[in-house]
Amino acid sequence: MVSAVEDRHVLDRKFFGRMAIAIAVLVFIGFAPSFYLRGLIPFPRPNPTMTPLVWAHGLVFTGWVALFYAQARLVASSSDWGAERESVRADRSSVRNR
C-alpha cells in the first residue's frame, strides 16, 4: 500500500515536470517570432537587428530553460534516491559503531 507521503511525492514530481514542459512551451511560443523562428514567421513589425549580445542572451536563457526541464526530469526519475541515501548512511553508521 502506498502511503500518503509517497503519493504526495509522486504528485509533486509530476507537477514540476509538467510545469517545466509548460514553461518551455510558453517560452518557445512567446519568443518564436522574434528569436526561434525569426526567418520563418512574419512579424507584425520589423524585427530589429540582433547583436551578438542578444543572441548570447537568448542562447543562455534557452539553456537555462532546458536545464530546468532536465532537472525536473532527473528528480522525477530518481524516486528512491533518498531511500538509497538513507540506507548508505545507515550502513556507514553501523560500520563506525563496530
Residue 43, domain extent: 4-96
Residue 4 has pLDDT above 80, yes or no: no
> Does residue 49 or residue 95 have the better pLDDT?
49
Note if the pTM is more than 0.95. Answer: no
Answer yes or no: are the C-beta atoms of 34 and 47 closer than 8 Å. yes
> Does residue 5 or residue 81 have the better pLDDT?
5
Q: pLDDT-based confidence at 33, cuts 50/70/90?
A: confident
Domains in the chain, number: 1
The percent of residues above 70 in pLDDT, for the chain, comes to 71
Q: How far apart are CA 40 and CA 49, in angstroms?
A: 16
Residues 6+ apart with CB under 8 A from 21: 69
Nearest to 70 by CA among 20, 15, 5, 30: 20
